[in-house]
Amino acid sequence: MNVLDRFRLDGRRALVTGGSRGLGLEMARALAEAGAAVVVVGREPSRLDQAVNDLGVVGQVDVLVGDLSTVDGAVAMCNAALERFAAIDILVNNVGGRRVNEPLEEMALDTWRQLVDLNLNQAVACTKIIGGAMLPRGWGRVINVSSISGRVAIRQMRGRSYETAKAGLTMFTRALAADWAPHGVTVNAIAPGPFLTDANRRWFAEQPEFQSQVESTIPLGRMGDPREIGPLAVFLASEAASYVTGAEIVIDGGRTLW
Q: How far is CA 32 from CA 6, 55, 70, 123, 258, in A?
A: 15, 8, 28, 22, 35
Rounded CA separation 112/237 (Å): 32
Cβ–Cβ under 8 Å, residues 63 and 40? yes
Contact 251, 145 (CB under 8 A): no
- Which of 162, 172, 180, 195 is flagged as catalytic? 162
How many other C-beta atoms lie within 10 A of the C-beta of residue 45?
Answer: 11
Q: List, in order, residues 6 or more apart from 13 with CB less than 8 Å away.
A: 36, 37, 38, 39, 85, 87, 88, 89, 90
Q: Give the contacts of 134 (CB within 8 A, at least 6 positions apart).
A: 88, 89, 91, 140, 142, 183, 185
The closest of 253, 16, 20, 57 to 141, measured between CA atoms, is 16
Q: What is the DSSP letter of 193?
A: -
Is 243 among the catalytic positions? no
Residues catalogued as catalytic: 162
